[in-house]
Amino acid sequence: MPKYIFVTGGVVSGLGKGIAAAATGALLEAKGISVTIQKLDPYINVDPGTLSPFEHGEVFVTDDGCETDLDLGHYERFTHVRTSVFNNYTTGKIYNNVITKERRGDYLGDTVQVVPHITDAIKEAIRSAATRDYDVIIVEIGGTVGDIESLPFLEAIRQFRYEAGRENVLYMHLTLVPYIKAAGELKSKPTQHSVKELRAIGIQPDILLCRTEMPLSPDVKRKIALHCNIEPDAVIAAIDVETVYEVPLCFKAEGLDKLIEKKFSLNRPEPDLSLWTEVVKRIKEPKFEVTIAIVGKYVGLKDAYKSLTEALLHGGIANNARVNLHWVDAEEIEARGAEVLLSEVDGILVPGGFGSRGIEGKIKAVRYAREKKIPYFGICLGMQTAVIEFSRDVCGLSANSTEFDTGIKEPVIYLMERWYNHRTGKIEERTKDSHMGGTMRLGAYPCVIKEGTRAFNAYGIKEISERHRHRYEFNNKYRELLTKNGLIISGASPDGELVEMVELRNHPWFLGCQFHPEFKSKPIEPHPLFRAFIEAAIRKKELFL
């Protein structure tokens, strides 16, 4: 039977439960312990797929096409976990499952209640994470202790200890120990109240992770331990660090791995954290420095591009470079021009997105990168805008995407009504009643790369699999014209019908991909395209120094 670690949070939101859960997973993996990590979210949406990026940050996509919380990106970046539909459940998803069972008559006329029906469904969801024989399953509970929305999840994990056995369940609570500058003191009272709230619903934490700006002295740890009814060595300082990839090293220094090992009666060797040490060193002591412009429409909330910004950092790690991010609102380019906002950057990246707002600004950014020979990386919508710009300014077409102009004369990007799904082996139909107005291509799909291209040079292999989240596709009606004028189709589906990557001749580095490579990048395994993009930006900067 696997062991379970439940991660809860208190005092305020945004303390970093996702990072704490992911870093704990990384620390355990370094000891040879197999892990998976699950997120239980209290919001009523069935999944975050329909949420605005300004509301909830990015939507992370798994191989099997599940739209999930962004914390699953942390889990995959820190560990070897490959998340799936079983790694993210919301209140909406839980209630939907229960109501479906009730309508089907599965409860045989019982009155359906939060306890036991909802809590049983939550426990069933927790057990579903054990898709194979993991040693430890880490479960992060979204929200903050005291939130009314989180109560069914907390009640479920309270019950879980009695069903799974006390020796198989560990409660880890992330809280805040603020430093009051005027008093010159760390204050433990918020942590005491948070634990009191948790204990009031029947959960006694085994380990406290205390977010703090300052190291916790032995006296402060003893005080927290006394008032929270735990051992002093179970009070872990989760101190602020320069990079989140330093967190596994900090947890090791505080003895977190030993605590977990003792609780679960595991006997494993010392963790090998040499890769994480090297990652942190490269981040803190880079040899090069480049500035990358991200031309987007959600730049007001950086979490909307969380996986993307991390992947750029990983590309820097691979090249021993610091990557400075220059955020540019696409609508500002429409108003002020690309020359004003992009003249000082070493590379330009246009990420994915939905809707027409800011599109012309993105297209101007593409043109600037193409004409000024600045390394360009277009992802999803960023590939589509590159195709539109090339069609207009090089091929002379009156081009656009039908997403932005349904009556456009030359739709180089359009909504395919039917396409072959190489993952399922079935013909997919676009439908009008699905969310956001049409069936999306979600999850991992195969791609065949053309040899001799920049894409092939980056990957080093001919066949790859990458994750998608989009509806509109390259229109093959214009394929011959565009390639004749210098566009290179460097990646396509196995049958050649779906264009996955494009490049340009006579340009230092210009590549667009229909998929989202950022979802598969890790600090210890940087994605090939981000590695190549940052390398090109370094070359560009070195050339003009």
Active site amino acids: 380, 516, 518
If one counts every other C-beta atom within 10 angstroms of the C-beta of residue 181, the result is 8
H/E/C letters for each residue in 43-93? CCCCCHHHCCHHHHCCCEECCCCCEECCHHHHHHHHCCCCCCHHHEEEHHH
Is residue 327 within 8 Å of residue 381, measured between CB atoms?
A: no
Q: Which residue has the tokens 């300014």?
A: 393
Dump the DSSP string for 198-251: HHHTT---SEEEEEESSPPPHHHHHHHHHHHTS-GGGEEEEE--SSGGGHHHHH
Of the candidates 274, 271, 273, the residue with the CA atom closest to the CA atom of residue 261: 271
d(C-alpha 9, C-alpha 319), whole Å: 36
Q: Which residue has the tokens 């696409």?
A: 330
**Cβ-count burial of 357 within 10 angstroms (0-12 exposed, 13-18 middle, 19+ buried)?**
middle
Of the candidates 215, 225, 224, 232, the residue with the CA atom closest to the CA atom of residue 179: 215
Task: Evaluate the CA torsion angle 478, 348, 493, 441 in order and state its sign.
Answer: negative
d(C-alpha 327, C-alpha 316), whole Å: 17
H/E/C letters for each residue in 356-375? CCCHHHHHHHHHHHHHHCCC
In sequence order, the 6+-apart residues with CB closer than 8 A to the CB of 364 are: 333, 334, 337, 338
Q: In 418-509, where do the E strands start and end?
A: 418-421, 426-429, 441-449, 463-470, 473-474, 487-492, 499-504
In sequence order, the 6+-apart residues with CB closer than 8 A to the CB of 131 are: 36, 84, 86
List the structure tokens of 481: 């014209």
Give me the count of residues in the chain: 545
What does each C-alpha distance from 473 to 268, 358, 393 come to in angstroms?
50, 19, 20
d(C-alpha 454, C-alpha 451), whole Å: 9
d(C-alpha 413, C-alpha 383), whole Å: 10
Exposure on the CB side of residue 118, measured as CA atoms within 13 A: 19
Element (H, E) at 540: helix 528-544
User: Rounded to the nearest 5°, which phi and psi values hold at 493?
Assistant: -65, 160
d(C-alpha 389, C-alpha 399), whole Å: 8
